[in-house]
Amino acid sequence: MKRAVGIGVDIGGTFTKIAAVDPRGRLLALSEVPTDPQKGPKAFIVRAAEAVRSLEHALGRKGDAVGIGAAGDVDSAGGRLRFAPNLRPFEEFPLRDALSRALRRPATMHNDANSAAWGGFVIELKRGVRNMAAITMGTGIGGGLVLDGRLYEGSTGSAGEIGHMKVFPGGERCGCGSKGCLEAYAGRHAIVRAAERLLAEQPGRKSRLRALPGKLDPREIAEAASAGDALAREVWRGVGHALGLGVIDLVLLLNLDAVLIVGGVARAGALFLGEIERALRESPFRTPCGRVRVRIGRTDNLGALGAGLLSLEGRR
């Protein structure tokens, strides 16, 4: 009997990644197409369906189900985006049902961070814990929760907005409009802003970042820190401190077994993981904070892989 194959479609504002995955999370095939949201959702469905068929042709078989992951406020029951700043033309369009009809197979739809959390639960943690959170680090900070071995989406599908927990109430302005959110201290723009602020406030302080042309990015700041640049290391300590406060709040609320940090910015995890662990050690709540394990994810494309895995959940 053939092992089932799920197709994950991870819709980003610029590109959409498509992955074929088996129930254990093994990547079988991967492709990428432009999202082009300005061309509208109907054109996207045609393009995505064609890309899925092309991937399946190369794989030599069709997937059994398809799962969509999308950034924004996802109505997972209705299979549509309620609000999506980077995918506004797709809002309220029945993406799940349209792709299901185009490919003639069952489909599911979830928030992209929830998909990544499920991918991390299956692939990175091997379903070996009951309660975990994933923190996705990219342009913003997202999150997803697996509680008692199940993806937890809350009453409206909006659970896991970890990036908008208040770690410094009244602090830095976040892109969401609030102040003091975790995202305002650990998202991509926040990391660059922290480096630029230190450079401006301490003009006599030496740093290899001063010699870099153009606008800084987290990769350059991470490279400088890894090479011993003290100012760049201070930036990442600040990121780790903010993340540590957020992780402690999660642990005290949910008594987690594990926290998995994933995403492009998480590649710099060695520069900030120690600060998170220090915050946990210093917490007076030793039992829950001593139990939780914080890990940096090693698997790429967890959003697409997790979306494909979620499409297969009913078939296990």
Task: Give the residue from 131, 18, 64 showing the smallest Cα distance to 314.
Answer: 64
Q: Letter for the amino acid at 82?
A: R
In this structure, the number of other CB atoms found within 10 A of the CB of residue 14 comes to 10
List of domains in the chain: 6-119+301-315 (3.30.420.40), 127-296 (3.30.420.40)
pLDDT of residue 149: 97
Structure tokens at 247: 């992780």
* pLDDT mean over 116-141: 96
For the segment 151-172, the average pLDDT, to the nearest whole number, is 94
Q: Report angle CA 234, 240, 246 to the nearest 5 degrees.
A: 145
pTM here is 0.93
Cα 11 from Cα 61, distance rounded (Å): 23
Residues 246/167, Cβ–Cβ less than 8 Å: yes
d(CA 16, CA 31): 9
pLDDT score, position 316: 53
pLDDT at 71: 87
Q: Collapsing DSSP states into helix, strand and coil, what is residue 179?
A: strand
Contact 20, 309 (CB under 8 A): no
CA distance 297 to 66: 24
| pLDDT score, position 139 | 84
pLDDT score of 234 more than 80: yes
* Mean pLDDT to the nearest integer, 227-245: 98
3-state secondary structure of 305: helix
Question: Would you place residue 86 in the very low, low, confident or very high pLDDT band (cuts 50, 70, 90)?
Answer: confident
